[in-house]
Amino acid sequence: MSTTLQTPIEYLKGVGPQRGELLRKELEVQTFGDLLRYYPFRYVDRSIIYKVRDLNPLTQYIQLKGFITGFRQIGDKRQKRVVATFKDNTGEVGLVWFQSADWIMKTLKPGIEYLVFGRPNLFNGEYNIPHPELEPVSEAVEATGGKGLQPVYSTSEKAKKKNLDARGLAKLTRVLVEQLRERDVPEFLPPDVVQSFKLMPRLDALTNIHFPKNETLLNEATRRLKFEELFLIQLQLLKMKANRGEVSKGFLFEKIDNKFDRFYKENLKFELTGAQKRVLKEIRKDTLSGKQMNRLLQGDVGSGKTVVALLTMLMAIDNGFQACIMAPTEILANQHYESITETVRGLGVEVALLTGSVKGKARKFILENLAEGKIHIAIGTHALIEDPVIFKNLGMVVIDEQHRFGVAQRAKLWAKNDYPPHILVMTATPIPRTLAMTIYGDLDVSIIDELPPGRKPIRTVHRTDHDRMRVFGFMKEEIAKGRQIYIVYPLIEESEALDLKHLMDGYESISRAFPKPQYQISIVHGRMRAADKDFEMQRFVKNETQIMVATTVIEVGVNVPNASVMIIENAERFGLSQLHQLRGRVGRGAEQSFCILMTGDKLGQDSKQRISVMCQTNDGFVIAEEDLRLRGPGDLEGTRQSGTINLRLADLALDGNILEAARKTAQKLIDEDPGLTQPAHQPLLKFLQETSRDKTWSKIS
């Protein structure tokens, strides 16, 4: 980075030690460069001057031009305020200050034409503008160049007290921007990229993002800086991916003539869907490439990811390797264990379950057999990646329902063997493309976009507390037909006790409406011991109970094909992807399935929107996009732990096109010049070496 941009912020004209301290502590602005990247969050159009008579209750901010005709002081000493009467040729309005009355009255002069900018208040039927920004027209023209858009920066209360309000920050930024030269912020994007995307040069963009001369220039500056931001992230991810391919040799799974083959011919009870076959081909290609596979498998709930995972593990076993599958909860690990043992029966595949609750001798036995290579498939929770677990020859790792596993845990797996195993990550919920490219941008992506044949789409309806009796009636009809029902309650960690109370209250009222012995009810929640949870779950799986009352512990993976009704209580408290996940628990059998979203009568706009999306579509990819649009990427599950998303300008919900372009550009660059050795790429290499914290771009690598 250029010396100018690394200069500590206190050395900027107008800052000094005191405000420097504030900038550092309050706004995390340490250097000139940080201030330059402290972008405005919006702009106000100062080119438009309104009249006093334009004031109306909807006015947010307004700019007026006129004269001060007098002052009044109101209130006693302790609550003194000063009101200036401000006039233009259409009327008058009060400007109010609650502080510094003397200074205000001394400084502001009648007879000078002022520009006033502020947020009007309606008080006792009259408009006034508290603490307006005010400057003589002559100076204002000079400060803004007499032109258009002014930046608004976010700031803090403390900073405001030292004049570091939006305006104060704008002044400092202007000082900085005016002294910037091309050499301080040299263009680092290759010339052909700048040309083909018609990108604004870097210096111009950094100037215009703060002080746009007009809307067009602002848009161009924003586009350029978003591109730059996304491009740098993609370049980093793709470089990581390329490096891994070079550094880590991948195990070769050449043979599939034994267990894989036999499973396919003898054990598999159905024809794979076209999408499943395609994904298997992709995996097969990876495991023959000699490079380590890092693949993300996306598929909607019920699309049949498990059998793909199993076939993949059989490829490993046929070649003398062990495989493991990690699930986010014990319940899911159990379920995988049971269904996998069942489906591989007769093939001579040794499967073991290793979770936190496998203890003592049983655990020791499993650990020994894993180390000796006698166990082919280990199934477990994250207990599997804890250090004492040693495999003889781990060749394939499947991570089910990825978003519970952070990037750090993924990294641990890479260190599990001399050569890292192939990794297949399966997501519980489809992720929007833009997000996948960013969080999992270093992985290859496979998509199962087809459900097994014969599935009836789940019917989803919205019901409120008023309809409860009707809902109970419906439940009784379904149970009479032999179906089973889930009732799910939200559980939000912060108020666990309260949530548990809701759940128990709900359980009681359901118990009253569905009395024993005619009806049997299971209950599962987070406070129960794992063994008890499992016992209750098993009763439901075996159809000994007709209703399962649960918190979201059943959210992912659980498979009870006979359960055909999903009732979600307080549905407004769930996010879209969670609702979709839960709904995916039904619709797995041949029967018509239903999802009933229960809410109170009053719903906020966002909740309404979510519920209506759920009632309209069953498509997980559509729902994921909608989720991103409604919540923004910051809130989406998986992004918080990911640490990769820290975007200043770009918005993954809105900037999909720019992201696509940035990724393509980065990919092309990595393909053509992975070491960035060509002359045209030197500025980029230099920039990366100066700015990236890791060693990816160091000269040695």
301 interface partner picked from Mg ion, ligand ADP, none, CB below 5 to 8 A per type: ligand ADP
User: In the numeric block, which tokens belong to residue 608?
Assistant: 């309404």
Using CB under 6 A as the binding rule, whether residue 452 contacts ligand ADP is answered as yes
**CB neighbours of residue 100 within 10 Å:** 12
Query: CB of 351 within 8 A of CB of 314?
Result: no
Using CB under 6 A as the binding rule, whether residue 583 contacts ligand ADP is answered as no
**150 closest CA partner among 219, 199, 211, 103:** 211
- Restricted to residues 522-581, the positions that interact with ligand ADP (CB under 6 A) are 559
Nearer to ligand ADP, 400 or 499 (CB): 400
Cis peptide before 17 (omega within 30 of 0): no
CB of 431 to ligand ADP, least distance (A): 14
535 interface partner picked from ligand ADP, Mg ion, none, CB below 5 to 8 A per type: none
CB of 299 to ligand ADP, least distance (A): 5
Query: CB of 68 within 8 A of CB of 108?
Result: yes
299 interface partner picked from Mg ion, ligand ADP, none, CB below 5 to 8 A per type: ligand ADP
CA distance 592 to 604: 31
Nearer to ligand ADP, 267 or 520 (CB): 267
CB of 429 to Mg ion, least distance (A): 11
Nearer to ligand ADP, 305 or 422 (CB): 305
Using CB under 6 A as the binding rule, whether residue 430 contacts ligand ADP is answered as no
The amino acid that residue 380 corresponds to is G
**CB neighbours of residue 437 within 10 Å:** 22
**314 closest CA partner among 292, 278, 283:** 283
CA distance 206 to 40: 11
Query: CB of 86 within 8 A of CB of 117?
Result: no
CB of 351 to Mg ion, least distance (A): 17
Using CB under 6 A as the binding rule, whether residue 273 contacts ligand ADP is answered as yes
List the Cα angle 396/400/402 in 5-degree steps.
110
CB of 344 to ligand ADP, least distance (A): 13
Q: Measured at CB, which residue is nearest to ligand ADP?
A: 304
120 interface partner picked from Mg ion, ligand ADP, none, CB below 5 to 8 A per type: none
| β-bridge pairing 81-88 and 62-74 | antiparallel
Q: CB under 8 Å to 117, separation ≥6 — which residues? A: 44, 46, 61, 62, 63, 64, 132, 133, 134
User: In the numeric block, which tokens belong to residue 80?
Assistant: 């003194």
**271 closest CA partner among 453, 456, 450, 457:** 453
CB of 603 to Mg ion, least distance (A): 31
559 interface partner picked from Mg ion, ligand ADP, none, CB below 5 to 8 A per type: ligand ADP
CA distance 217 to 219: 5
**Which residues in this chain contact Mg ion in the complex, by CB under 5 A?**
557
Task: Spell out, one character per residue from 280 to 299, where the chain touches ligand ADP: x when CB under 6 A holds, - when not.
Answer: -------------------x
Distances (CA, A) of 236 to 241, 243, 674: 9, 10, 11
CA distance 94 to 152: 24
Q: Which stretch binds ligand ADP (CB under 6 A): 226-234, 254-262, 266-274, 597-605?
A: 266-274
CA distance 548 to 506: 12
302 interface partner picked from ligand ADP, Mg ion, none, CB below 5 to 8 A per type: ligand ADP
- Residue tagged 């858009």 (tokens): 149
Using CB under 6 A as the binding rule, whether residue 307 contacts ligand ADP is answered as yes
Determine the straight-line distance between the first and last CA of the chain, rounded to whole angstroms.
Answer: 20
Using CB under 6 A as the binding rule, whether residue 268 contacts ligand ADP is answered as no
312 interface partner picked from Mg ion, ligand ADP, none, CB below 5 to 8 A per type: none
Out of 33, 118, 120, 302, which residue is the one contacting ligand ADP (CB under 6 A)? 302
Using CB under 6 A as the binding rule, whether residue 588 contacts ligand ADP is answered as yes
CB of 591 to ligand ADP, least distance (A): 14
Per the DSSP assignment, residues forming a β-bridge with 322 are 394
Instruction: Count interface residues toward ligand ADP (CB under 6 A).
Output: 15
Task: Spell out, one character per residue from 308 to 347, where the chain touches ligand ADP: x when CB under 6 A holds, - when not.
Answer: ----------------------------------------
CB of 268 to ligand ADP, least distance (A): 9
Query: CB of 190 within 8 A of CB of 621?
Result: no
376, exposed or middle or buried, with CB in 10 Å at 0-12, 13-18, 19+?
buried
Using CB under 6 A as the binding rule, whether residue 663 contacts ligand ADP is answered as no
| Cα atoms in the Cβ-side hemisphere of radius 13 Å centred on 471 | 24
Out of 305, 404, 433, 533, which residue is the one contacting ligand ADP (CB under 6 A)? 305
Using CB under 6 A as the binding rule, whether residue 33 contacts ligand ADP is answered as no
CB of 410 to ligand ADP, least distance (A): 19
Out of 105, 272, 407, 530, which residue is the one contacting ligand ADP (CB under 6 A)? 272
307 interface partner picked from Mg ion, ligand ADP, none, CB below 5 to 8 A per type: ligand ADP
* Element spanning 151, H or E: strand 149-152
Out of 303, 329, 581, 665, which residue is the one contacting ligand ADP (CB under 6 A)? 303
User: In the numeric block, which tokens belong to residue 106?
Assistant: 């001394």
Q: Which residues of the chain form contacts with ligand ADP (CB under 6 A)?
A: 270, 272-273, 276, 299, 301-307, 452, 559, 588
